[in-house]
Amino acid sequence: MLEVQDVTAVYGRSTLALQGVSLSVPAGGAVALLGSNGAGKSTLLKAISGILPATGGSLRGGTVRWEGQSLKNRDPAWIVRAGIVQVPEGRRVFARLTIEENLRAGGITCRNRKTTAQARDRVLALFPALEPRLSSPAGLLSGGEQQMLAIGRALMAAPRLLMLDEPSLGLAPLMVRQIAATIREIHGDGTSVLLVEQNAHMALSLVDSACVLEVGRVALEGTARELSQTDEIQRSYLGHGTDRTSA
């Protein structure tokens, strides 16, 4: 479905952000991108969604293909209409617009009223807490509610691949569990998922496979089960020490 092959990206003239990164997301699959701050995770999502140039970045090598079609130089709106939608880091809701208006903005690329209505119904079924407050400004929502709205706004475009950038960032543990359950349900309904997370425990519980980025390169990759059992993941991302010395 999505094929990223040997992608190299820079910011400005020389700041190297990605170096030969490859990954794939199969139809109906769920893949996680793990890594510390500055590893290049968000840059890769921007390269896929076509917004890298808007943030001062550019691709210097490699290919990004969606169902065999190159996404190079594609307009971001075309990419959304093709089925790839990103939930940005930090939620980025339109604070002065109402919840209803935020949802409407998310569905702006949809030209079919029936599809838009179905997407709205799906969002409100996933996030029933939003429905009584549809006329409220999004800026009055809590952080967790804003994350719900950000995901809901993305779902209004009826994505076939949903890319989420740090959806658990800054949220209380209870809300993290709720967001994780929602992502699991979205994936269970057939939407492919590409999940960027520093919360490796959460991410590996939701996906089939994962890549670990370090300084713009793929350092580890494999199934979620394989990676969760490696010493490096245990030590660096799951907070478990590994002592293999004999007593």
What pLDDT shows up at residue 230? 86
150 shares its domain with 164: no
Domain closes at, from 158, 187, 208: 158
Coil, strand, or helix at residue 86?
strand
- Asked whether residue 88 is assigned to any structural domain, the reply reads no
Shared domain check, 175 and 75:
yes
Q: Clarify whether residues 4 and 119 are in a common domain.
A: no
Supply the Cα-derived Rg of the chain in whole angstroms: 18
What CA–CA distance (Å, rounded) separates 188 from 184? 6
Give the pLDDT of residue 14: 82
Query: How is residue 131 written in tokens?
Result: 């429905």
Provide φ and ψ at 232, rounded to 5°: -65, -40
Query: CA 176, CA 199: separation in Å to the nearest integer?
Result: 10
Q: What is the pLDDT of residue 243?
A: 46
Residue 198 resides in a domain: yes
Considering the domain architecture, whether residues 25 and 137 belong to the same structural domain is answered as no
What CATH number did the domain enclosing 29 receive?
3.40.50.300
Q: Which residue carries 């569905």 as its tokens? A: 107
Which residues is 112 bridged to in the sheet? none
Q: Estimate to the nearest angstrom the gap between the alpha carbon of 177 and the chain centroid.
A: 17
Q: What's the pLDDT score for residue 240?
A: 58
Q: What is the pLDDT of residue 244?
A: 37
Residue 239's pLDDT is what? Answer: 61
Residue 225 main-chain phi, psi, to 5 deg: -65, -45
Q: Are residues 31 and 60 in the same domain?
A: yes
pLDDT of residue 178: 94
How far is 192 from 212, CA to CA, in rounded Å? Answer: 19
Domain match, 56 and 3 both: yes
Q: Give the pLDDT confidence score for residue 247 in this predicted structure.
A: 31
Dist CA 48 CA 77 (whole Å): 12
pLDDT along the chain (247 residues), means of 10: 97 92 97 93 96 94 97 94 93 94 91 86 95 95 94 96 95 94 96 94 95 94 92 73 40
| Domain carrying residue 217 | 1-83+160-242
pLDDT for the residue numbered 10? 96
Is there a single domain that holds both residue 67 and residue 5? yes
Residue 168 domain flag: yes
CA distance linking residue 127 with residue 120, whole number of Å: 10
167/220 same-domain check = yes
